[in-house]
Structure 1
């Protein structure tokens, strides 16, 4: 596999769905609709069967688990070209953005006022997931694996950290509006790097929608660079009314 595919697999390891199956190298994932990454087929590598049959398996798996058929694949890949030829289309209706930049950067070091909770608190859940009573799917996706629950100044800011091989996967970085422009996001990133280095990570990976300019500006300032992009695809004829 090429470097972009390897990074995608590590990111998938850090963001586990509730249900997962495989079609060759492809990963079929479902988590009751919580996030695109946990409810799509990660189409990297060889599906081990004709392409149209693999897409049919994606659709069958999705319908069984009550989610729309969606394929996540690397921009510019042969798989993406084959999806277009099969008359799938970019899933532009995806609320969080269907086109995503994957960034790699250095681990931060040190930060005062940041701590890591032994388990997520109600305030951590509220800031990172928008609820103090997470669903089983939310709890599974956000707590499975070697995961850290970072908080700043009580819970003025919060972040999810996860180890995937040599990579630190950072997600759900959030700062409350009344506490922004005080450097808390940078402090959370720095503390996340120290947390990950103690666990063997050597580099950090982030996934950011390409239209999220403030987040991209923050990460570029911290030394991150775009490694590749991925995009979500869906069947053009899919009935989304059910």
Structure 2
């Protein structure tokens, strides 16, 4: 399966890619032509450790540039990963296909119209600004490696647009759900939505998502966007309930994956 996009959707792809970079900033973001090379030594996230080609016409010296990128990734202890969006040149995709690379994950980028979304008028959960508290809760909810604590705090601290950190806790120090909402002018990014395993299918995800979207709309955001792995059926069902629809997809490539 290939990622295809009409010319008319490319401006939307460019805009959502740009706000995505700002909403989840890598520690290092360098350019090789139009390829953005994103690397973060403290966190293994693919979003923070990948090469993102951003111009369909930038097709020169592919082998040389891939080797340059591989060396940068090797210096960070990361496997070279390419993120394919509709902006990636067809020639590069064909080069990867014939050079032993393969896709190992597909992600949907989805949007919804906040102006038409039916949300409660009350704010059951107000956003916090205590990054340390949020990170501790998020690690507990997701059962993530505590060694990622400092890196996650640094990433959140580096976000330049307005950030809302939402937690659902019925009992102190017993978080059930968490989400980050990043408002960038009229766009609101939903990041890192997570629900504790023991609390799933109880409405916690919908509750915390509604709070984040309501907050963003009050702050004049008109469109919400998010990224979700294509195989995550429960998350897709939740987002469908809120009116999110697919804008485009991206895929991650690795050699020998």
Structure-2 residue corresponding to 1:56:
67
Question: Which residue of structure 1 aligns with residue 233 of structure 2?
Answer: 213
- 1:42/1:71 contact within 8 Å kept: yes
Conserved 8 A contact 1:70-1:234 = yes
TM-score, normalising length: structure 2:
0.78
Q: Equivalent residue of 1:63, what SS? A: helix
Task: Output aligned runs, 1:1-242, within 5 Å.
Answer: 2-32=11-41, 33-45=43-55, 47=58, 49-74=60-85, 79=89, 81-86=91-96, 87=99, 89-92=101-104, 98-107=105-114, 109-110=119-120, 112-120=123-131, 121=133, 122-127=136-141, 130-131=144-145, 134-145=148-159, 146-154=162-170, 155-236=175-256
Report the number of matched residues: 231
Alignment CA distance shift 1:113-1:206 (3 Å): same
1:170: how far off? 0.7
TM-score (norm 1): 0.83
- Distance, in Å, in 1 between the alignment partners of 2:212 and 2:228 is 17
- The answer as to whether partners of 1:157 and 1:185 remain within 8 angstroms in 2 is yes
Number of the residue aligned with 2:3: none
The more displaced of 80-89 and 201-210 is 80-89
Runs (4+) of structure 1 exceeding 6 A deviation are none
Per-residue deviation, residues 69-114 of structure 1 (Å, max 9, x unmatched): 1110115x5525523324252342xxxxx11111111336445532
**Structure 2 residue ranges without an equivalent (≥5):** 1-9
